[in-house]
Amino acid sequence: MTPANGTPVRVGVFGLLGSGNLGNDGSLEAVLGYLRAEHPEAVVDALCGGPEVVATRYRIPATRLHWYRGEYRTASRAGAIVAKGLGKLVDAVRTAAWVRRHDVVIVPGMGVLEATLPLRPWGFPYSLFLLCASGRLFGTRVALAGVGAAAIGDRPTRALVRWSARLATYRSYRDALSRDAMRAMGVDTARDEVYPDLAFALPAPPASAPPGPPGQVCVGVMDFHGGNDDRARAEEIHRRYLDGTTRFVRALVEDGRPVRLLVGDECDGPVVTSILDAVDSPLVTAAQAASLADLMKETAAADTVVATRYHNLVCALKVGTPTLALSYAAKSDALMARMGLDAYCHPAREVDADRLLEQFRALEKQSAELRRTLTERNRIAARQLKHQFAALTAALFPAADHTHAHSLREAP
């Protein structure tokens, strides 16, 4: 893939990548797989949260997203406040310079247009706005590919997210709720499409993966404190979530079921530790997953999965394991509905261990039927993601690639 002048297309990937969130990194991996398969001559690098991880794991040059390394720590001392403020000015220049060096920048999936978890406007929303504004200024094509969005109450955050979306060259969403949310926030979404989450494009583990113990249940946990509008009661929400989840794990152990605890972000570790301490049993173990591929292997080896983090759910559904969602946002409900399991959602804010156990038993009774449903829904997702990548090629890359993109669209 080389333009008429013979210079390889310069592609940047952007986001909180390599920062400990397995879902974000899985979205990056899916986009890199697309670029390497369909545009192998492209020169790719990243502007991201964890450049050392991205450079080592994905073998692409990577630059730190923020000049100030304490960007996501609370600034309480005068020196830190000044450094954080200065960092905003420096980042405007750094981001613009990075964008200018590229022909194309892709933001691979992630919930970049939502505030379903605690978020400050001068954090990632500001960074995304700098990216999209710089793209418009320098003529760099910026794509928000398969991203998540949600209605945002905080006015500064909403304004930054809205303008970021408006300034992007291309937008697609991982569910219809995301597109509806952006339309409600004043973005023209008439040409925007909805596709499955990019992580569904990742390869599934081989069918010969070693099975787990008979009856094993994977329980994906999260350091959950509510959303952006729940800051005043964040600790209460966390205590209720942890207590309900712990009681559920204890009930499984009392039934003799092996339980495998999963995380999706480095910050989830203390939740695993709390459950292991509270349920002192050899039946409860913790996985050491470093990627979505690891999570898929874990969930493929289980009889059933109960999980909170969005990409824990994606991994379990991708490998066809019957799954129950501890849902903390509408995106989880939408994902479960897309995969035909909308009856199996339980609110993460109000975990009722007894009710959750009832839903879990109902899920297991329907296991064989649900596995057939997931097999078919995964076939559909694979076809839809072929169209997603063809649309990216048509929108972002030179006209010489459009013939190839058209052939992908026509593929069955």
pLDDT score at 409 = 38
pLDDT of residue 400: 45
CA distances to 40, 234, 256, 355 from 111, rounded to whole Å, are 27, 20, 37, 29
CB 47 within 8 A of CB 67: no
Q: Are strands 104-108 and 141-147 parallel, antiparallel or unpaired?
A: parallel
CA dist., res. 387 & res. 119, Å (int) = 32
Q: How confident is the model at residue 209 (pLDDT cuts 50, 70, 90)?
A: low
Residue 4 token pair: 């008429």
Q: How far does CA 304 lie from the centroid of its chain?
A: 22
Which run of H or of E encompasses 64? Answer: strand 62-64
Q: What is the pLDDT of residue 404?
A: 42
**pLDDT digit string, tens, across residues 154-165:** 899 999 999 999
Mean pLDDT of 170-195: 97
Reported confidence tier of residue 412, pLDDT bands at 50, 70, 90: very low
CA distances from 313 to 116, 187, 296, 305, 382 (A): 16, 29, 10, 8, 17
Q: What number is the average pLDDT over the span 275-282?
A: 97
Could you report the per-residue pLDDT of 112-142, keeping only the tens digit for each? 999 777 678 888 999 999 999 999 999 999 9
With cut-offs at 50, 70 and 90, classify the pLDDT of residue 73: low
* Of 12, 26, 51, the residue nearest 204 (C-alpha): 26
Q: DSSP letter string over 285-328?
A: EE----SHHHHHHHHHTSSEEEE-SHHHHHHHHHTT--EEEEES
Residue 399 banded pLDDT, cuts 50, 70, 90: low
pLDDT higher than threshold 60 for residue 395: yes
Q: Are 298 and 218 in contact (CB under 8 A)?
A: yes
pLDDT cut 70: percent of the chain above it = 89
Give the pLDDT confidence score for residue 37 in this predicted structure. Answer: 96
* CATH of span 217-365: 3.40.50.2000
User: What is the C-alpha to C-alpha distance for residues 209 and 224, in angstroms, rounded to an integer?
Assistant: 31
pLDDT at 120: 82
* Rounded Cα distance, 26 and 292, in Å: 6
Domain 10-202+379-410 and domain 217-365 have a common topology: yes
Query: Which band of pLDDT confidence, cut at 50, 70 and 90, is reported for residue 82?
Result: low
Report the topology of domain 10-202+379-410. Answer: Rossmann fold (3.40.50)
Domain ranges of the chain: 10-202+379-410, 217-365
Could you tell me the pTM of the whole model? 0.89
Cα(9)–Cα(33) distance, rounded to whole angstroms? Answer: 16
Tokens representing residue 43 in the block: 């020169």
For residues 71 and 172, the model is more confident at 172
The answer to whether 313 and 332 have CB atoms below 8 angstroms apart is: yes
At 231, is the pLDDT very low, low, confident or very high (cuts 50, 70, 90)? confident
